[in-house]
Structure 1
Amino acid sequence: MSLSGATVSEKTLQDFIDLKMNKIHDFMLIKFATKDFKELVTSHLEPRDTKISNVDQWDKMKGMLSENEAAFMVFPLSFKIKEGGERGKVILASWIPDNCKQKERMVFAASKVYLKNKLDGVAEDSFHATELSELDYCEVATTVSKGKADV
């Protein structure tokens, strides 16, 4: 249980495994099931579409974020590196816009480390954004790759 008292649903953990290991989803959004902030659940699973680039999937995910509601984003980021080849990492990002309620901001912030620990295998680098401009694909890829991404 997180410091906020929240838990992660078993279905959400299975959805993460399907995204990470089985590669049947392009990304997932996680939110609290109810306004009592007790259980984190999958609010959206994007089915795998190999015709859409990783950058376009990132933009699609960003387009689903609300200016008034917080969410966690789980995304399998893939990028080319300057030395040649391609790398990938599953990242966790928190979206906590300034317009959401104070209690929601606090509970999301208190739940992030717990969620990250439950999602075995997400990259050590995690992101926090309050504005969409902070979720620039190139900047995220550069940070995750420790400057090795060729973006």
Structure 2
Amino acid sequence: MERSKTVVRTQRKQGELQAFVLLYIKMAMSGVGLGDSVVTTYDTKLKTKHLLDALVLKINKEEKRQIVTEQEFECGTLPFEELKKFLPPKEPRYVLYDYNYTTENGQKHSKIILVSWSPDEAPMKEKMIYASSKDAVKKKLQAIKIEVQASELGDLDEADIEAKLKKV
């Protein structure tokens, strides 16, 4: 009797794993793209002219096929620590942030980073859609120096980010 319960549990786990793999494959081929307005805003306001501190992006829930701008933050209005207040606790987001830092020899630098926000409380399906769509963001938007994966606010540590930036 105990052996048959083990077999049933094993079969159930295999079934769940197969369903997870199929969902992952489906999400990887989801076809979510980056909206043209995001590319234009990024190229003209963030990358070249540095008129923005950050762009917060989300996948449009109505269409689920396009990444759109949720919020823009003008230059000088959003210190990195303040960014955490704008990350929803139960929904993934992408953030393009113009990170300013000073090197050990006093030189000031500005580099664009991509924050992939995927909180633990977010639904698995949404997290997978965002994970599989991240390459679309990285391919279309040039000049992203590093990527920071964060599932909790503590993952957004400025010392770690600066250490990564100094290596590139």
Name the count of aligned residue pairs.
Answer: 140
Which of 16, 37, 41 lines up with 2:42 in the alignment?
16
* Residue identity in the other structure for 2:60: A
CA distance, structure 1, for counterparts of residue 157 and residue 62 of structure 2? 29
CA distance, structure 2, for counterparts of residue 62 and residue 80 of structure 1? 21
Q: Secondary structure at the match of 1:93?
A: strand
* Residue identity in the other structure for 2:70: S
Residue 119 of structure 2 corresponds to which residue in structure 1? 97
**Higher mean displacement: 63-72 or 27-36:** 27-36
Identity %: 24
Q: Does the Cα contact within 8 Å between 2:99 and 2:112 map onto a contact in 1?
A: yes
Q: 1:81-109 CA deviation, whole Å, 9 max, x = no partner? A: 11331122101110000111111000100
* Residue identity in the other structure for 2:144: V
Which of 71, 81, 95 lines up with 1:59 in the alignment?
81
* Residue identity in the other structure for 2:79: Q
RMSD: 1.7
CA distance, structure 1, for counterparts of residue 150 and residue 107 of structure 2? 29
* Residue identity in the other structure for 1:133: G
Residue 133 of structure 1 corresponds to which residue in structure 2? 154
Q: Following TM superposition, by how much is the alpha carbon of 1:35 offset from its aligned partner in structure 2, in angstroms?
A: 5.3
CA distance, structure 2, for counterparts of residue 47 and residue 78 of structure 1? 14
Runs of 4+ in 1 over 2 A off after TM superposition: none
TM-score norm. by structure 2 comes to: 0.77
Residue 44 of structure 1 corresponds to which residue in structure 2? 71
- Structure 2 residues not aligned, in runs of 5+: 1-27
Q: Secondary structure at the match of 2:154?
A: helix
- Structure 1 residues not aligned, in runs of 5+: none
Kindly indicate which of the two structures has a greater share of residues assigned to helix.
2
Larger Rg: 2
Q: Secondary structure at the match of 1:83?
A: coil
Structure possessing the higher relative contact order (Cα contacts under 8 Å, 6 or more residues apart): 1
Judging changes above 3 Å, is the alpha-carbon distance between structure 1 residues 115 and 31 closer, same or farther for their aligned structure 2 residues?
A: same
